[in-house]
Homo-oligomer: A and B are copies of this chain.
Amino acid sequence: MRPMSADEFTDALRGLSHRYWGTHPFHHRMHAGELSQPELQVWAANRWYYQSAIPRKDAAIISNCPLPEVRRQWLPRIVYHDGATPGEGGMERWLRLCEAVGLSREEVLDERHVAPGARFAVDAYVGFARTKPWVEAVASGLTEMFSGHLMKARVADMLAQYEWISPDDLAYFTNRIDAVAGEGQATLDLVIEHSRTRAEQDAAIAALSFKCDVLWSLLDAIERAASKK
């Protein structure tokens, strides 16, 4: 099989948008203002586990990549999430959201609320990044192509629907909207450049599909755990 053109390949990747977790029923309920505070707590505490794994996923990509120029391009992502100094960074902003929904830092950090299914989904993502070729792990992160739209809606909808949530509480999302706007195209360019054969392109599409499954499954586990609250 001949390789797809860059446009065909991009269209195939973007074509997975319907599998992104933006359409998950739990997200619909969140945006509609139908979640109770305990349900939002389950969401925030479980998704913390995902947030806390991202720097390790990104370091796995760097560890597997023999190209210094790609490693240099990818390294700021670790700094983005971990922060350059304590008290900064995406993980810290997520912890602030956890506190806004009424969780203590301690109960978030000790992972007592993390549902097994959420843990398995996130661990599968880190394991994917550790064991697959780096370009596939990069491709799995292309859910960023779909996330800007969802996060913009989230900020607007949560502020409208949950009066006890303030704009500062949502700093994770407002900051991340800007970040993915820049990262999205650069990541896509990287995947296109390093997926030259049809087999490599298909593997990149499968990686993005896998990542959609990770997120969806994570949210399934959250929905199930939240339903007990």
A residues sitting closer than 8 Å to B (CB atoms) are 52, 55-57, 59-60, 62-66, 68-69, 71-72, 75, 78-79, 82-86, 89, 91, 126, 129-130
Residue of B nearest to A65 (CB): B56
Question: Are the CB atoms of B62 and A55 closer together than 8 Å?
Answer: yes
Q: A62 is contacted by which of B56, B69, B85 (Cβ under 8 Å)?
A: B56
Which residues of chain B are within 8 angstroms of A86 by Cβ–Cβ distance? 68-69, 72
Which residues of chain B are within 8 angstroms of A129 by Cβ–Cβ distance? 63
Q: Provided the pairs A78-B62, A78-B75 are in contact, do residues A68 and B56 lie with their beta carbons within 8 angstroms? A: no
Which residues of chain B are within 8 angstroms of A72 by Cβ–Cβ distance? 82-86
Question: Are the CB atoms of B66 and A63 closer together than 8 Å?
Answer: no
Residue of B nearest to A74 (CB): B59
Question: Are the CB atoms of B56 and A59 closer together than 8 Å?
Answer: no
For the complex formed, measure the closest distance between the CB of A36 and the CB atoms of chain B, giving whole angstroms: 31
In the bound complex, how far is the Cα of B66 from the Cα of A169, in angstroms?
A: 25
Question: Sorted from nearest, which 10 A-B pairs have the closest CB atoms?
Answer: A59-B63, A59-B62, A60-B63, A59-B59, A68-B82, A56-B63, A71-B82, A63-B63, A72-B82, A55-B71
For the complex formed, measure the closest distance between the CB of A17 and the CB atoms of chain B, giving whole angstroms: 29
